[in-house]
């Protein structure tokens, strides 16, 4: 029995001793190229394992550092923005499954200090991005009523009115605003905007023969013309503007679900007001006024957004612009028989301040690449000349100190795409 055990052990030792020798013989039998390829494969597998371990540790450390930075204070976004976006995205992609997430723009932290976007590719809410937007404007010029004609019972100055004075009042009219942003970094961008708005009102008054006369409210009182005993009046009144803005925007306050930016830049603005009235009987008397302002200057303000559940948000902005420019105003009254009856004008250099406020609500998708907003806009032009005040000045033979405030307000609807 002992002899069998000894023989079995000897055979096992011989087999084990022969295995390394066979493996070594196999390696020696391989060509140099095959041995090189085999060695390269082993080294690549080892390098891949170590790289995975290193990236996992880096992602975890970056994620924890980002949370610590956010928790440290609101201005900490300046520090967080210095972390390259691919690393921040890697840290988000490797977050544990039980960490709080933001779904469809919704920030649900369930008592946690911070939360992360649902998709690893999503930038932070406060980060600036490149994008395009288009706005529908529906605005009205406030308190710009212009009386142009009154029905009366005779041609003398003391004739009795037969009805209400006809008034031109440009109401709500559509316009548009388009623009885009170019990202300079996580905290800043350049934004350009173009505005276009035009409002028009027209009216007609007729008094059939024998029922009365039409008295003009816009002709010069010292002129004698057939406008004093016209039978009909036809008038139009336009108020238009165009503006172009370029601003630099920078985050000054922000967190997971809100951001406040300061904006500094410049604006160019063109304001145009036109009136045209025709008064007819056997011939026509025509009154035309044209007021233009062109100016440019610095623009500054603040804008902010606050994100709520399901991607809904509120937004607001306030801006001030100071436009240095020139006002040109012209008045001309002419009659088909008498020719030019009255003519006046003024050219004046002015600083026109503008104050603007916009408040509204909106919605964005999960990563904020598609956004819709609707809000109320209020904008005031200070120190301009308006058509009603200009005509009153011409009739009083005094064009000095004609400073008025022109106010626009109404609704704005925006569609925006960000990349």
Please give the Cα distance from 358 to 376 (Å, whole number). Answer: 6
CATH code: domain of residue 280: 2.40.128.100
CA neighbours within 13 Å on the CB side: how many for 190? 4
Please give the Cα distance from 404 to 400 (Å, whole number). Answer: 12
Map tokens 């390696």 to a residue: 27
Which of 124, 126, 103, 132 minimizes the C-alpha distance to 193?
132
**Where does a domain end: 99, 115, 150?**
99
Any idea what DSSP says for residue 186? Answer: T
Q: Is residue 121 part of a domain?
A: no
8 Å CB contact between 122 and 104: no
Q: Is residue 23 part of a domain?
A: no
Residue 16 pLDDT > 50, yes or no?
A: yes
Predicted local distance difference test score (pLDDT) of residue 212: 83
Higher-scoring residue by pLDDT: 339, 272: 272
Instruction: Say yes or no: 199 and 74 in one domain.
Output: no
pLDDT digits (tens, 9 = 90+) for 191-230: 999 999 999 999 999 887 667 888 889 999 887 544 456 7
Instruction: Say yes or no: 215 and 281 in one domain.
Output: yes
Instruction: Say yes or no: 214 and 92 in one domain.
Output: no
Entry pTM? 0.74
Burial of residue 158 (CB within 10 Å: 0-12, 13-18, 19+) is exposed
Please give the Cα distance from 198 to 240 (Å, whole number). Answer: 4
Q: Is residue 175 part of a domain?
A: yes
pLDDT digits (tens, 9 = 90+) for 214-223: 888 999 988 7
**Beta-strand (E) ranges in 153-231?**
166-168, 173-185, 188-206, 213-216
Instruction: Say yes or no: 281 and 146 in one domain.
Output: yes
396: pLDDT confidence band, cut at 50, 70 and 90?
Answer: very high
For range 263-283, the mean pLDDT: 92
The boundaries of the domain holding residue 41 are 31-99
Instruction: Say yes or no: 151 and 55 in one domain.
Output: no
Predicted local distance difference test score (pLDDT) of residue 313: 97
Instruction: Say yes or no: 162 and 40 in one domain.
Output: no
Q: Is residue 313 part of a domain?
A: yes
DSSP per-residue letters across 118-163: SSTTPPPTT----EEEEEEEEEEEET--EEEEEEESSSSTTPPB-S
Higher-scoring residue by pLDDT: 129, 2: 129
Instruction: Say yes or no: 329 and 214 in one domain.
Output: yes
Q: Is residue 9 part of a domain?
A: no
Instruction: Say yes or no: 249 and 305 in one domain.
Output: yes
Instruction: Say yes or no: 189 and 45 in one domain.
Output: no
What domain count does the chain have?
2
Q: Is residue 107 part of a domain?
A: no
For range 10-21, the mean pLDDT: 55
Residue 385 pLDDT > 60, yes or no?
A: yes
Q: Is residue 126 part of a domain?
A: no
Instruction: Say yes or no: 213 and 355 in one domain.
Output: yes
Q: Is residue 246 part of a domain?
A: yes
Please give the Cα distance from 283 to 84 (Å, whole number). Answer: 77
pLDDT digits (tens, 9 = 90+) for 229-251: 678 899 999 999 999 999 999 99
Instruction: Say yes or no: 409 and 316 in one domain.
Output: yes
pLDDT digits (tens, 9 = 90+) for 65-114: 555 555 554 555 555 555 555 545 544 444 444 444 444 444 444 443 44
Instruction: Say yes or no: 60 and 162 in one domain.
Output: no
Burial of residue 131 (CB within 10 Å: 0-12, 13-18, 19+) is buried
């Amino acid at each position: 029995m002992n002899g069998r055990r000894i023989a079995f052990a000897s055979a096992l030792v011989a087999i084990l001793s022969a295995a390394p020798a066979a493996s070594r013989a196999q390696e020696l039998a391989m060509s140099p190229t095959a041995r090189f390829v085999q060695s390269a494969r082993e080294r690549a597998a080892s390098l891949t394992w170590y790289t995975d371990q290193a990236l996992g540790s880096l992602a975890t450390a970056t994620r924890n550092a980002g949370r610590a930075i956010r928790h440290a204070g609101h201005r900490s976004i300046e520090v967080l923005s210095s972390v390259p976006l691919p690393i921040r995205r890697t840290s988000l992609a490797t977050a544990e499954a039980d960490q709080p997430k933001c779904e469809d723009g919704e920030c649900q932290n369930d008592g946690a200090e911070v939360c992360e976007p649902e998709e690893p590719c999503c930038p932070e809410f406060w980060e600036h991005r490149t994008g395009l937007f288009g706005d529908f404007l529906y605005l009205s010029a406030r308190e710009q009523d212009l009386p142009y004609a009154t029905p009366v019972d005779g041609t003398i100055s003391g004739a009795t009115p037969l009805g209400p004075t006809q008034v031109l009042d440009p109401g709500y009219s559509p316009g548009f605003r388009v623009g885009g942003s170019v990202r300079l970094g996580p905290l800043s961008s350049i934004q350009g905007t173009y505005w276009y708005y035009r409002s028009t009102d027209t009216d007609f008054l007729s008094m059939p023969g024998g029922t009365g006369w039409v008295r003009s409210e816009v002709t010069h009182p010292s002129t004698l013309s057939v406008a004093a005993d016209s039978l009909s009046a036809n008038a139009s009144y336009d108020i238009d503007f165009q503006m172009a803005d370029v601003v630099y925007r920078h985050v000054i306050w922000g967190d997971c679900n809100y951001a406040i930016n300061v904006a500094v830049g410049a604006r160019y603005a063109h304001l145009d007001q036109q009136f045209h009235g025709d008064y007819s009987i056997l011939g026509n008397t025509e009154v035309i006024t044209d007021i233009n302002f062109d100016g440019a200057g610095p623009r500054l303000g603040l804008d902010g957004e606050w994100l709520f559940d399901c991607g809904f948000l509120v937004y607001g902005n306030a801006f001030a612009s100071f436009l240095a420019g020139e006002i040109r105003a012209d008045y001309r009254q002419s009659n088909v028989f008498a020719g030019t009856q009255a003519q006046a004008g003024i050219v004046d250099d002015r600083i026109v301040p503008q104050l603007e406020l916009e408040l509204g609500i909106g919605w964005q998708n999960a990563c904020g690449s598609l956004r819709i907003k609707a809000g109320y806009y209020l904008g005031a032009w200070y120190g301009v000349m308006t058509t009603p005040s200009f005509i009153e000045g011409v009739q009083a033979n005094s064009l000095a100190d004609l400073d008025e405030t022109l106010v626009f307000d109404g609704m704005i609807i925006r569609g925006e795409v960000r990349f």
